[in-house]
Amino acid sequence: MDEYSITGCVVDSAIRVHTALGCGLMENVYETCLAYEWTKRGLKVQRQVVMPVHYEETILDMGYRLDLLVGDKVVVEVKAVEKILAIHRA
């Protein structure tokens, strides 16, 4: 599946999960439900994938983690906030 098809599934599933659960839950609840939805659709899903920083000749383990990696092509960061602020748009 190409990244455009995966992205379509990502958006569709996000709407589906949000419609079913509403707002106000912790991010890990949404993450778990999204991973379940994508697995049901036959997509490969990895959760909390470690992402090191490559700087010059060195690989630094900075503790970065991708919330979800879908189909080895699309990164999804799950955010659960009361309202969208300017910092979220950066």
6-34 tens-digit pLDDT: 999 999 999 999 999 998 899 999 999 99
Question: How many CA within 13 A on the CB side of residue 16?
Answer: 13
Q: What is the Cα–Cα distance from 53 to 38, expressed in whole angstroms? A: 27
**pLDDT reported for residue 44:** 97
pLDDT tens, position by position, 74-86: 999 998 888 888 8
In sequence order, what are the residues at sequence separation of 6 or more whose Cβ sits closer than 8 angstroms to the Cβ of residue 31? 47, 67, 68, 78
What single string gives the DSSP state of each residue in 30-46? HHHHHHHHHHHTT--EE
